[in-house]
């Protein structure tokens, strides 16, 4: 959570405080251990596919929360 908060600090002014906290929570959820376990153990994805899917999810969340000006 701290790493995402720090990384997103330059974008904080573009979001209201609740949206900023939600974005940090979404990114933390998408990149946490549980996500990795679900993709590898439940979905049986190989590491390259899991990384690609995870990156796509993170990109989608960031694009929605911080659209290009």
pLDDT tens profile 30-41: 998 999 999 999
pLDDT tens profile 41-67: 999 999 999 999 999 999 999 999 999
CA–CA distance, 5 with 47 (Å, rounded to integer): 26
Q: Are 66 and 16 in contact (CB under 8 A)?
A: no
DSSP structure string for 38-59: IIIIIS---HHHHHHHHHHHHH
Largest CA distance in the chain: 40
Distance in angstroms between the alpha carbons of the first and the last residue of the chain: 26
pTM recorded for the entire structure: 0.84
Q: Are 3 and 11 in contact (CB under 8 A)?
A: no
Task: Read off the pLDDT band of 69 (50, 70, 90).
Answer: confident
């Amino acid at each position: 959570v701290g790493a995402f908060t720090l990384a997103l600090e330059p974008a904080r002014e573009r979001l209201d405080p609740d949206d900023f906290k939600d974005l940090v929570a979404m990114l933390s959820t998408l990149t946490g251990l549980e996500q990795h376990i679900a993709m590898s153990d439940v979905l049986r994805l190989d590491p390259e596919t899991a990384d690609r899917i995870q990156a796509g999810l993170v990109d989608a969340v960031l694009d929605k929360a911080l659209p290009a000006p």
